[in-house]
Amino acid sequence: MMHWMLRSRQAFAGGLLLAMAASPAFAAPQPPAPAPVAPQAAPTQETARRISGIEARQALAKGEAVLVDVRPKESYAASHAEGALSIPLSDLGSRAGELPKDKLVITYCT
């Protein structure tokens, strides 16, 4: 019986070693996984970057920006900057997908 227990312990010990050798702690080193990128919150009136009129005109002239009139549709219909899109502020969140992701989005309301 002692002989069987000895064999049993050896078998168990061997199984334990195999399990440990296959565990991640003993595996070959892997490069670290890239850190997840947290989605950026949409800018608010307080956090939105401000630019000068000159900088806005230059970005628009180079095709690096899009101009968005965020006033109500009636105000846009009465008068608006040349080339401006009309997306009222109340609709901006739901229509943000219409804006290009590769350009500066310049909003105005006066």
Residues pairing with 105 in the sheet: 66
Residues near 96 by beta carbon (within 8 Å), at least 6 away in sequence: 42
Whether 75 shows a pLDDT value over 90: the answer reads yes
pLDDT of 74 higher than 60: yes
Q: pLDDT (tens digit, 9 = 90+) per residue, 17-56?
A: 333 444 445 455 667 767 666 666 666 777 888 999 999 9
Which amino acid, 56?
Answer: A
Per-residue pLDDT, 34: 72
Pull the structure tokens for residue 27.
């595996």
Residues with Cβ within 8 Å of residue 74, at least 6 apart in sequence: none
- Average pLDDT estimate for 67-76: 96
- Alpha carbon 1 to its chain centroid, in Å, reads 65
